Amino acid sequence: MFGKNQLDPDSRFRNYSDLVIKTCMLAGKIMIENGSEMTRVNDTIKRIARNAGMPNLKTYITITGIMISVNDNSETQITEIDKRAFDLRKITAVNDLSRRFAEHKTTLEQFYQELQHVSDLDTYFPYWMKILSAAILSGSIEVVFRGDYSVFFITCVIGMLGWIIFDYLNRIVKVEFINEFTAAISIGMLAMLARKLGLGSGVDNMIIGGVMPLVPGVQITNAVRDLMSGNLVSGPARAMEAIMGACALGFGVALALKWFG
């Protein structure tokens, strides 16, 4: 009947639909892991499927997992998402790849190959530049919000140290929210210390500026966008994440104020 190396048409079709599912799943996984909003993920997956010739692919996307099935007898697949970070480079990379695929500049196989390398992409900016931007962000936000020029430099230093602590803990500890909490306590303590040493009097201004690089702005924006698009599973989940992050920061600052204020 069939030669040894010759696949029957049914299994060849199954291989292709498998590849489509795998590609969609990986693209979705990368986007959710790096902080994309759900409508965007859904849109990208549907677009890839349409361009691959499978317009009736069904997806169910939540913040912790994706299910995809093709509308025939091939099986449904599930993937889990357990880490969430914020790296807009990877989202942009997936976007670019999907765009190239839509313009028929790559094949599905190449697309899948390149997607697998996206999660290895490094940051654009060296570590010292991130530290520097955390510092300048703290200082300039303090000036914008409060207009207190006298504590600009000390706010820069406090914000920088807070961000270094946060980033370091983020790498070694696998518990969420405790990083924000610890960093917030440190920022509060550093601000009090700065006042004790006579480096500036506006403790409030220093803390507001210093906490700014850690504020969960991305989560809040995403929560609002998800809720607006009617995603009642992921919207509240993201909102909860944002509120927990904000509360961790707040309690950290409040504790520091209580102990040392």
Q: Which residues bind other proteins (CB under 8 A)?
A: 35-37, 40, 86-89, 91-92, 95, 99, 123-125, 129-130, 133-134, 136-137, 140-141, 143-147, 163, 204, 207-208, 211-213, 215, 217-218, 220-222, 224-225, 227-228, 246, 250-251, 253-255, 257-258, 261
Q: Give the residues across from 66 on adjacent strands.
A: 61, 79
In the bound state with other proteins, the residue whose beta carbon lies nearer, of 108 and 255, is 255
The Cα 159–Cα 249 span in angstroms is 13
Closest separation in Å from C-beta 183 to other proteins:
13
Tokens of 210: 């210093």
**Shortest Å distance, C-beta 200 to other proteins:** 16
- Nearer to other proteins (CB atom), residue 92 or residue 113: 92
To the nearest whole angstrom, how small is the minimum distance from the Cβ of residue 228 to other proteins? 6
**Cα 64–Cα 185–Cα 173 angle in degrees, nearest 5:** 40
Shortest approach of other proteins to residue 153 CB, angstroms?
A: 14
CB-nearer residue toward other proteins: 17 or 219: 219
Among residues 54 and 238, whose Cβ is nearest to other proteins? 238
Nearer to other proteins, 15 or 123 (CB): 123
Closest CA to 210 of 194, 226, 233, 232: 194
Query: Contact at 8 Å (CB) between 155 and 206?
Result: yes
Q: How far is the CB of 71 from other proteins (least distance, A)?
A: 28
Closest separation in Å from C-beta 248 to other proteins: 11
Give which of 49, 40, 22 is closest to 116, Cα–Cα. Answer: 22
- Shortest distance (Å) from residue 189 CB to other proteins: 14
59: β partners:
68
Q: How many Cβ atoms from other residues are within 10 Å of residue 215's Cβ?
A: 16
CA distances in angstroms from 228 to 58, 101, 220, 223, 232, listed in the order given:
22, 29, 12, 8, 9
For other proteins, the closer CB: 3 or 122:
122
Nearer to other proteins (CB atom), residue 27 or residue 54: 27
Residues 6+ positions from 45 with CB-CB distance below 8 Å: 24, 27, 28, 57, 59, 61, 68
Angle of CA points 174, 178, 179, to nearest 5°: 80
Q: How far is CA 9 from the centre of its chain?
A: 41
